[in-house]
């Protein structure tokens, strides 16, 4: 009988290990950085001097098929001007527009977006790029 008790006592207690795993899981969930995904499958062009903006801005995403989203909301050229004006009233006058255009999107679409933004009064416009790979 004494030998059978000893076998039960030799099992490791998993409770502390499970507690540590849950604490690590919570730590990584809380500290994880959530990236802004555009919602469309795009491939940004590369540039040597790529910089990220520091203030709250408007993001316009254009995929290779010409579909557009303004801050995760689908827009068309017909309603883009109104949507930018609405967003600009909420934000301040220093708002920039960041155009995340797929490198396969047409140049005309990007220029048309920039013209609409200028009509609304947004002068600061950025075309998003990625740093060149391999450097």
Q: What's the predicted TM-score (pTM) here?
A: 0.56
Residue 8's pLDDT is what? 58
Tens of pLDDT, residue by residue over 96-127, are 888 888 888 888 888 898 898 888 888 788 88
Matching residue, tokens 């790979």: 133
Residue 108's pLDDT is what? 87
Residue 93's pLDDT is what? 66
Q: Please return the burial class of 122, using the count of CB atoms within 10 Å of its CB with bins 0-12, 13-18 and 19+.
A: buried
Residue 53's pLDDT is what? 46
Residue 10's pLDDT is what? 72
Q: Give the β-pairing of 46-47 and 125-127.
A: unpaired
Cα 7 from Cα 55, distance rounded (Å): 63
Distances (CA, A) of 114 to 2, 48, 111: 83, 22, 5
86-97 residues labelled b (16+ CB within 10 A) or e (exposed) = ebbeeeeeebbb
Helices 77-90 and 107-120, axial angle in degrees (round to 10): 40
Tens of pLDDT, residue by residue over 29-64, are 877 766 555 566 777 777 776 665 455 678 898 988
């Amino acid at each position: 009988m004494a030998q059978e008790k000893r076998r039960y006592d030799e099992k490791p207690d998993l409770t502390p290990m499970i507690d540590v795993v849950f604490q690590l899981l919570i730590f990584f969930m809380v500290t994880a950085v959530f990236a802004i995904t555009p919602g469309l499958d795009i491939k940004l062009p590369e540039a040597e001097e790529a910089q990220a903006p520091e203030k709250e801005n408007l993001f316009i995403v254009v995929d290779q098929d010409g579909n557009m989203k303004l801050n995760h909301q689908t827009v068309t050229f017909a309603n883009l001007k109104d949507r930018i004006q609405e967003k600009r009233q909420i934000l301040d006058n220093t708002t920039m527009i960041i155009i995340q255009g797929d490198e396969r999107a047409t140049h005309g679409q990007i220029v048309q977006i920039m013209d609409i933004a200028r009509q609304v009064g947004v002068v600061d416009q950025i075309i998003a790029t990625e740093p060149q790979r391999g450097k």
